[in-house]
């Protein structure tokens, strides 16, 4: 688990760039229901919500979500969940797991 400063960790160590976001978004269709696993601070989730019919964002770090889950678009659902223990919700057409090592 990431320490209590998870939000800061996310901001500093997961700085995805526009070309990375563009690659992901280019694969999403307007009718898609997207599951983003490891949504972090919801930067990509918010962009996906503009491109897709619905986005389900899974994140295990409650500290990250607490500071990020405000003013969400109506088609973005955020779940505090451990993806290793969850089942893909019905209707999901596209899944995104974006990680940088």
Predicted confidence at residue 84, as pLDDT, reads 95
Q: What is the pLDDT of residues 53-84, one digit of tens each?
A: 999 999 998 888 877 778 999 999 999 999 99
* Domain annotation for the chain: domains and CATH numbers: 6-96 (3.40.50.150)
Residue with more model confidence, 8 or 75? 75
Using a 10 angstrom Cβ sphere, with 0-12 exposed, 13-18 middle and 19 or more buried, the burial of residue 32 is middle
Residue with more model confidence, 45 or 40? 45
The four Cα atoms 27, 92, 65, 7 give a dihedral, to 10 degrees, of: -40
Q: How far apart are CA 30 and CA 52, in angstroms?
A: 4
Predicted confidence at residue 38, as pLDDT, reads 92
Location of structure tokens 């500290």 = 63
Least confident window among 14-18, 24-28, 85-89, 93-97: 14-18
Q: What pTM, to 2 d.p., does this model score? A: 0.82
Predicted confidence at residue 40, as pLDDT, reads 87
Dihedral of CA 20/93/52/83: which sign?
negative
Whether the Cβ atoms of residue 52 and residue 72 lie closer than 8 Å to each other: no
Predicted confidence at residue 14, as pLDDT, reads 60
> 67: which 2 tokens?
């500071």
Q: How far is CA 84 from CA 37, 58, 81, 87, 88, in A?
A: 10, 11, 9, 8, 10
């Amino acid at each position: 688990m990431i320490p209590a400063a998870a939000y800061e960790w996310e901001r500093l160590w997961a700085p995805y760039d526009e070309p990375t976001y563009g690659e992901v978004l280019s694969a999403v269709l307007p009718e898609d229901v997207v599951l983003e696993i490891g949504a972090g601070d919801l930067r990509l989730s918010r962009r996906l919500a503009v491109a897709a019919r619905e986005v389900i964002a899974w994140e295990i770090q409650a500290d990250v979500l607490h500071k990020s889950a405000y003013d969400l678009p109506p088609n973005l659902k955020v779940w505090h969940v451990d993806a290793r223990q969850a089942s893909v919700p019905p209707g999901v057409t596209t899944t995104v797991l974006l990680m940088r090592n």
